[in-house]
Amino acid sequence: MAMVVMSGACATLLGVGLQRFAYAPLVPAMVQQGWLTASEAGLLGSANFAGYVLGGLTAAMVARRLGTASALRLAMLVASGCFVMCAPRWGFAWLAPWRTLAGVAGGGLMVLVGPAVQGAVPPGRRGLAAGVVFTGVGLGIVSGAAIVPAALPAGIDAVWLALGAAGFGLAALSWRFWPDAPAPAKATRGGTLPAGAKRLVASYALAAAAATPHMVWWPDFVARGLGRGTQAGALSWLVYGLGAMTGASLCGKLADRLGARAAMRIVLLLQAAAIGAPLFTGDLLPLDLAAIVAGAGAIGTTAIALTRAREIGGDGASAVWRMSTIAWGAGQVATGFLLVWLFAQTGSHLALFALGVAAALAALAVI
């Protein structure tokens, strides 16, 4: 069981932690060195979110054709290869399809890994197991925050190649330990959702919208918005990742103790307060403390949502989780494009965080 959970953490570390979140601390350098404009950087993040949705939609079909374990291995290889393909400096048009494909791989991993691990874990420990699996996302954020500034002096292309090497290493580490989990069942027409599923899907989509300003713009806000520089932005992103790394397990334990819905309410309330911190102060110490809470809430809601899907879905939990994952990605796609437009109109990061607070409060109301 331990190796299965470890493999799940490797998958989320690569498919979401590195594949998505190592991009955020790269944004200031890519803009400053002329790889992308600020708007193109935001659009590239949204393209990755769009790929995530597509991966969520197609993961079950791929797993039915290849088997769950083979589909997970393929997705990890694709995510790693996309890092390597981003190394040439050939502009937005070259980067967009590779970042989109990386999102497809990440979405597929998120749909498949949760149910595969949950099926191998005793019911009373599923919340904790979900927390450990999604600790991989926080580890990925921390790893990316370490890799990016370490490799950046050698060039942005070196950063992409270093991330690719890390990804292939994670794929190799987990290769032998994936369980022989059944592929997700094909959806049938006329099927009804379990009670509570619609609220879970809606609140999870809103939670995704709430998390998007930090996930895409936080290092840029610290580096350029506050004028603290790229290194400060990467360090603050590392702090965010530490919150995400510890928050997943803590939130999973909270779901085991209080039930997933009560845990989700508590975490969303704390997350709303943390997201709104930049509206009240520009000092790094309170902002870093808030970033810890924001990171914990962003990844913690994922661990709680997976536990909630198992609570309300029973044998149909994989279908509920698949819909929730797609909703998360769709929420981030829509919010990502909205944030790009909002930043272009206002030139201020603060409007982005205000929107995040509103989304967190809406998610709290829905759940």
Q: What is the pLDDT of residues 275-306, one digit of tens each?
A: 999 999 999 999 999 999 999 999 899 889 98
What's the chain's length in residues? 367
Architecture of domain 2-177+196-366: Up-down Bundle (1.20)
CA trace torsion 210, 47, 105, 27 (10° rounding): -80
Cα separation of 183 and 144, whole Å? 31
Q: What is the pLDDT of residues 157-201, one digit of tens each?
A: 999 999 999 999 999 999 998 877 776 666 555 456 677 888 999
Structure tokens at 316: 């149909």
Q: What is the pLDDT of residues 196-247, one digit of tens each?
A: 888 999 999 999 999 999 988 898 899 889 999 878 888 898 899 889 888 8
Cα separation of 218 and 42, whole Å? 12
Residues 248-265: what's their mean pLDDT? 90
* pTM score of the predicted model: 0.80
Cα separation of 140 and 138, whole Å? 5
Q: Give residue for tokens 């895409």.
A: 216
Instruction: Give the model's pLDDT for residue 241.
Output: 86
Long-range CB pairs of 186-193, under 8 A, 24+ apart, other chains included: 186/60, 186/64, 187/319, 191/319, 193/320, 193/323
Instruction: Give the model's pLDDT for residue 1.
Output: 64
Looking at every residue in the chain, the average pLDDT score rounds to 88
Instruction: Give the model's pLDDT for residue 17.
Output: 87
- Higher-pLDDT residue of 97 and 231 is 97
Cα separation of 128 and 118, whole Å? 10
Cα separation of 43 and 24, whole Å? 12
Instruction: Give the model's pLDDT for residue 285.
Output: 94
Residue closest to 12 by CA, chosen among 135, 190, 166, 169: 135
Residue closest to 281 by CA, chosen among 290, 294, 272: 290
HSE-up of residue 212 (Cα within 13 Å, Cβ side)? 33
Least confident residue range of 9-18, 54-63, 122-131 = 122-131
Would you list the domain boundaries of the chain?
A: 2-177+196-366
